[in-house]
């Protein structure tokens, strides 16, 4: 909470400078700088988180399919290792993790950020489109995590941060298949948190709302090839809304990057961190709906247990 108070007190630019000063003082006292391993670091959230970590005095292993695109923003840096990683290749994930440990000696923070969206009705999404999305958004997360966890287990420390979405907490028409990948990431994160807690490793799943990035552009968002006219009033409205709000979303991506610094500095980080007022609103609305529905159906829901007579 101390770091959150600092963020609210100083604002983003001064907060990052303040954290960098803390990091330099910590290193001068013999503490090691942290090493981040970030997937999808060439643009969007990944690039901004990498920049914020460097400004905070940490080392960053920034991965992308083309590592040259990583250094285009922060430039060359002695605490930056840009390396190739296609998250759909577990062999590349192990190679990248090995390079990280060879250069910096450890991996303290894993940010599973790489992924993309798919807009379309569930029926409109083909088997190939669905499999391709899961291969990146779910199996990619699993592969990279499997590559990094042995190093964290050896250290008996680390923080795994998986980026989900508001769509990983509540479903939207048109985002069903994409949301399914993020629901999967949420379940993986919850289970993983329990598995690695005894090893000194922390897990947080981050749920961003809509931020002013290129997520709704063609570079990050795929659209189903098939459009079914019967879905024009539901999914059609979602398609229109996505086009209307693109680059006008509520969320400030630089503030999200600053929030990541506050997150990793927290002594007891949350298992789930929503980011964005829209996410908070949707979570509160869903929790209210679930509680109301559960109350209405509690009698039937609890009626299926064995009774003493039936047992």
Q: Judge whether 182 counts as a catalytic residue.
A: yes
The strands making up 59-64's β-sheet, listed across from edge to edge, are: 80-84, 59-64, 35-38, 109-112, 158-163, 201-208, 272-275
Residue 79 contacts residue 60 (beta carbons within 8 Å): yes
Q: Judge whether 178 counts as a catalytic residue.
A: yes
Q: Judge whether 255 counts as a catalytic residue.
A: no
Catalytic residue among 7, 182, 231, 258: 182
Residue found under tokens 């669905």: 130
Distance CA 22, CA 275 (A): 24
CA atoms within 13 A on the CB side of 205: 21
Total residues found in the chain within this entry: 311
Catalytic residue among 3, 23, 55, 164: 164
What is the DSSP code string of 205-237? EEEE--BSSSTTSTTTEEE-S---GGGTTTHHH
Catalytic residue among 3, 7, 169, 178: 178
Beta-bridge mates of residue 208? 275
Q: Provide the annotated active-site residues.
A: 164, 178, 182
């Amino acid at each position: 909470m101390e770091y959150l108070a600092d963020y609210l007190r100083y604002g983003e630019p001064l907060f990052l400078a303040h954290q960098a000063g803390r990091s330099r003082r910590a290193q001068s006292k013999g503490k090691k700088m942290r090493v981040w391993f970030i997937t999808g670091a060439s643009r969007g959230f990944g690039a901004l988180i990498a920049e914020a970590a460097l400004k905070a005095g940490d080392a960053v292993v920034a991965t992308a399919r083309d590592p040259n695109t990583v250094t285009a923003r922060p430039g060359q840096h002695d605490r930056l290792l840009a390396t190739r990683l296609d998250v759909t290749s577990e062999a590349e994930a192990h190679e990248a993790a090995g390079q990280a440990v060879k250069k910096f000696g450890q991996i303290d923070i894993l940010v599973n950020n790489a992924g993309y969206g798919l807009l379309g009705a569930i029926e409109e999404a083909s088997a190939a489109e669905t499999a391709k999305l899961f291969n990146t958004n779910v199996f990619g997360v699993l592969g990279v995590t499997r590559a990094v966890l042995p190093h964290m287990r050896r250290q008996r420390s680390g923080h795994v941060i998986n980026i989900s979405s508001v769509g990983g907490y509540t479903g939207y028409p048109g985002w069903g298949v994409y949301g399914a990948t993020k629901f999967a990431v949420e379940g993986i994160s919850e289970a993983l948190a329990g598995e690695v807690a005894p090893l000194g490793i922390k897990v947080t799943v981050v749920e961003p709302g809509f931020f002013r990035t290129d997520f709704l552009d063609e570079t990050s968002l795929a659209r189903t090839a098939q459009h079914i006219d019967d879905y024009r009033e539901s999914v059609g409205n979602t398609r229109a809304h996505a086009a209307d709000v693109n680059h006008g979303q509520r969320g400030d991506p630089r503030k999200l990057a600053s929030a990541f610094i506050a997150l990793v500095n927290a002594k007891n980080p949350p298992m789930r961190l929503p980011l964005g007022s829209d996410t908070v609103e949707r979570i509160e609305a869903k929790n209210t709906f679930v509680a109301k529905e559960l109350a209405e159906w509690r009698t039937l829901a609890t009626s299926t247990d064995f009774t003493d007579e039936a047992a």
